[in-house]
Structure 1
């Protein structure tokens, strides 16, 4: 049974379903396991087009469900009326609805839901009142691309009606950081929130002073572990009482103001740091991360080819020697970089606990391992060598 489950679980979701159907005729165990794996997270279009009897049969197997706005209305209505006893996570991909009613998506809200994600431009209106009523035990709510009609009090009212909420995120807010500050103040009384992600569009100008003031006035968030806020300056560094609870931090840096790293150093519990270097970066050698002894994950993404990555061997030695607990390291920059080999040589010498490595920098592995002493990763489990440059969203919590 375990072997069958492993085989089916590793099949690509785009594989021919007829092949699986033929394989399922081998015996009943294969058929049962194949159905459980395939229909636990089904492609919504394929699921919605099943016959009513088949939909009813497979519905109890569904755990996460991704609902997209590309089918006739009657298929949504018929599917939403099914009972999904195991459904815990649902993701909606939607277009702007002028009346703000989200019909027929709201019919998918079930009492068992713990995670709801919205992808797409949002003008939801009455849906804010529907979520707390239909999903009182919701633990995670992730919103995307809010329209200009959203206000902080709408967020405050929504969060106040979700007493079990632990993770809250907004990806893409109108008005830049002007909306971040009032949202922070609005949800500060929710002591159960451990993950907070508030991101504006990177092309917008922010109002970081307002964000810093909002954080400084906030004495709650006692359970906060993960923080992701687009930064234009050293915002979090000004509020040490807020920073001391954070375990995961993403820094979006657009100006060469390295006081921003004081924020990371002021977080004694910090274990994961992602750095996104933006419009006007300065030399990375000025980063002083040597105080982050507990750091287990360090990810760096340079967005512009003009990044001045002036790393000296002594900088690398000091950096990685202090990060001996590092288990994950990402190094992604736009252009081939001379110090790449030196980076991995020093990393291998000092970070013996490393388990995951990812880079898009070309370097000669043979010459690298001929170095003396050669880098060695005794616990390495994943290594990804590629040429592509990922987007900042790849670093989201």
Structure 2
């Protein structure tokens, strides 16, 4: 191992201290690796997100040793202070259905809400606690290569106005978000055949801030000047943050005809204008600007490993196509990347180390590839307004069917000893070819 570590700053460099990067740094440090975690911003820092965490995300948070209790944060600042939710409230077709998170052995029965401005720092500090070295205000501008073209580090500007400097490591994990500068630099571009979304959100002071359900709107309506109502494109959410504000946003998938030619911020205002006035989603109650970003889904960037560089989270297009959830999958891909890197350090030759790193591509395919293949089909179906109206009209009135849909969309099943729904969903994945 010492030969591999010679003339380096770390065993592995992780670029980006979002959920995927911090999870990768945490698990790599637990494997005994010397980890350098580079973050462009300074904590606390803002990120565009719905702030809602499903039980799948909660499981990954717990796996990092973070306290998910409610109430005030603990003395070490790691954990506590969460807002818990019981499940998902679905609104559409004139109906309102509350679905509790399922009781499973594999996942907890609650979700969480926490603003990204504070959530990301919590994960990064946890990675620090187990040994990762965090450098903030470190803007990575590109990769360093050896004579063969392999990635052996990064170039970054540390602090304001500083000269670029190099950080060296035999392996680099890119958790640098949707823009994915490092992946692009290695020729890994977005696959246009796979799903993509756009989302915008804004915080509002609202009496609904302590809602104990995540709320999903399958239809968005606006009031018209003639007293009627008009259906808008996209799907919305309202998540109570528990601090006097609600996170309100909407998203559109690239399977929608409106994906390219719509003003998303204006669309949000139009939708909110048709909601009850007492909810408070008006300009005077807004906290900060409307922010938006892309949602790379269904592994729409691949391969996830090439020549010393591993992609995790949004950098690898790992967002769930069924529900737009990204945090859980960023953390899971981060953990799998850390495992691949750790295994590579246990090998004796360069060839066998490379084989261990290449195994990351297969590990992702095994873990999520079939599920994301099904998600791609789902995205194409719901992009058709006619199909979506039929599904809403005939699906929402049937609670048992909607419980099945909740499990499918949130990817919450028990692999063994599950109920009939679990067996059907697990069986579908077994017979579906995996995307890579």
Q: TM-score range by the shorter chain?
A: under 0.3
- Normalized against structure 1, the TM-score is what? 0.23
**Larger relative CO (CA 8 A, sep 6+): 1 or 2?**
2
- Normalized against structure 2, the TM-score is what? 0.22
Larger radius of gyration: 1
Kindly indicate which of the two structures has a greater share of residues assigned to strand.
Answer: 2
